[in-house]
Amino acid sequence: MADQKSVVFLGSINMDVILRIARLPKPGETIAMTDFHTAGGGKGANQAVASARSEAITSFVGRVGADEYGKTMLNLLQTSGINTDNIKVDSKSVTGQAFILLQKSGQNSIIINGGANQKIKKQDIFDAKEKIAAADFAVSQFEVSMERIEEFFIAAKDAGVKTILNPAPAKKATQKLLGLTDLIVPNEIEAQELTGVKITDETSAKKAAVLLADKGIANVVITLGSLGAYCYTPTFKKLIPAFKVKVLDTTGAGDTFIGALCSVLENDLGNIREAVVYASRAASLAVQHLGAIPSIPMKKQIMKR
C-alpha cells in the first residue's frame, strides 16, 4: 500500500445544515433543537476529502451554485488538496444542501436539495477525460444523475481505469451501470434495495453479495455498521469486524470508509482485506466527531490507531 493512488470522483457537493435534536418529531409535533451549525458535505465531496486526507492524488468532477455556499465548498475542497479544475460554477442553480436531523443517539435522518448537483452535463464528463484517464479509480454515488455516472464509468473503462460505485442513497440501478462497475460498496439498506435481501448478519450479507456478483459485479463490499464489512471477491470472501468505539455522529462514516478504501486499494484489488481494515479504522474515527467533512481523519491519525 506504499505507492500513491490517484482517484477521480464524480459526485455531489453540498452544504450540510445540521440540526441537533433529542429525537425525531412525531407527525404534527413541534420540538426544539438543541444546536444548529453548518458543515461541508455531499457524498462526493466527503469521499474525495477522505481520499485526499489519506494522501491519494484526488480530483473531482461536479458543480456548485454561484452563491456563498459554492464559494465556501470550492475553497474547502481546494484547501483539502483536491483538484477542482473540473468543478463548474452553475449560475442558474443553488449549491446542493443537506438538512441533517441529528438525534441524541447519534443516528441521523437527511433531507437533500440537489441543486447544482443535478445539473451536471455530458460535456462536463468529456471535459474531465484527462483526469479520468490519469486515475487508478473512478468513484461515484447516487446523488448525481445515473446517466452521468454511466458516461463517467464508460470514460473510465475506455481508459482502463477501475470503477467503484457507492449506490447511495438507496435506489435501483440500471443493469448497464452495474455492468460497468468493478467494485460496488453499498451499506445493508442499499444492498437490500439492489437485491431484495434483508441483511442482518454475515449469512444474509453473503446471499446479497452473490446476487450482486450475478449481476456482473466481480467485487462487492457491503458495510454493516457496527457488525463490520462483508467482502466478496474472487479471492476473498469474509466478514471483517468493525472497530468498537463510542458513536457520536454517523454522518459521513460510509463516505469516509469509501474515500479511505480507494486511497490504499491496489489496482487488482489484491489487498482488499488490508484496505477494508484501513477504511474501517478511518470510519471508526469519523463517527466519534460531529459533522461529515470535519470528522474525516488524516492518514497519520488512522495509522496511529
User: 133 phi and psi, to 5 degrees?
Assistant: -65, -25
14 is in an annotated binding site: yes
The residue with cell 466527503 is: 46
DSSP secondary structure string, 135-180? -SEEEEETTS-HHHHHHHHHHHHHTT-EEEEE--S-----HHHHHT
35 is in an annotated binding site: no
Q: Look at residue 200 and give its three-state secondary structure.
A: coil
Are 277 and 7 contacting, i.e. CB atoms less than 8 angstroms apart?
no
- Catalytic residue among 67, 90, 124, 255, which? 255
270 is in an annotated binding site: no
Helices assigned H by DSSP within the chain = 43-53, 68-79, 122-127, 129-133, 146-158, 175-179, 188-195, 202-214, 253-264, 272-286, 299-304
User: Is 291 a known ligand-binding residue?
Assistant: yes
How many whole angstroms separate alpha carbon 4 and alpha carbon 274?
Answer: 16
Is position 52 annotated in a ligand binding site? no
| 227 labeled binding residue | yes
45 is in an annotated binding site: yes
22 marked among binding-site residues? no
The SS3 assignment for 105 reads coil
Q: Is 67 an annotated catalytic residue?
A: no
114 annotated among ligand-binding-site residues: no
Consult the annotation and say whether 11 binds a ligand: no
Q: Which residues are catalytic?
A: 255
Binding residues for K(+): 249, 251, 286, 289, 291, 295
Binding residues for ATP: 187, 223-228, 254-255
Binding residues: 14-16, 42-46, 143, 187, 223-228, 249, 251, 254-255, 286, 289, 291, 295
